[in-house]
Amino acid sequence: MDKVNIEQKLSLFTEHWSPKIVGELNGQQVKLAKLKGKFVWHTHEMEDELFFVLKGSLKIELKDKTVVVNPNEFFIVPAGVAHCPVADEEVSLMLFEPATTVNTGNTPGELTKQVLDKI
C-alpha cells in the first residue's frame, strides 16, 4: 500500500485521450487522463461516469446542454446518457468508473482503449 501523488503520476505521460489506472477499489478504477480536442459522442449503457477536473476547463456536451467543469469540480454522466467531452486547451482529470468501462462506450474507433496502462 502506497499513497498516490497525482502530480507525479500526471508527469509520467503526455498522450491525450489515453486514461491510466492509478488505483482500484471495490470493482472501480481510479484513472488519470489528459485531454485535448474533441472526443467522440458516446454512451455507457450500464455505467455512470465521473469526470473530476484537476487542471483546465472541460466541456461535456450533452444533447440538450453543455456543462463546463472547472478545476476542483466534478460532473457525473448517468448511464445511458450520450455525451461528448471537449477540451479546448489541455485538461487533466481523474475518472472514477467500473473496471469494465470502455472509454468510448458504444462508439468503438481509433480512440478506443481496451487495455489501459497502470502507472
Q: Give the confidence band of 108 by pLDDT, cuts at 50, 70, 90.
A: confident
Q: Strands, E, within 39-82: which ranges?
A: 49-55, 58-62, 66-69, 74-77
Specify the CATH number for the domain of residue 107.
2.60.120.10
**Structural domain includes residue 12:** yes
Q: Can you tell me the distance from the alpha carbon of 111 to that of 42, in angstroms, rounded to the nearest whole number?
A: 12
- pLDDT at position 71, please? 98
**Structural domain includes residue 109:** yes
CA gyration radius for the chain? 13
Q: Give the confidence band of 76 by pLDDT, cuts at 50, 70, 90.
A: very high
**Structural domain includes residue 1:** no
What range defines the domain where residue 19 resides?
6-118
Structural domains of the chain, count:
1
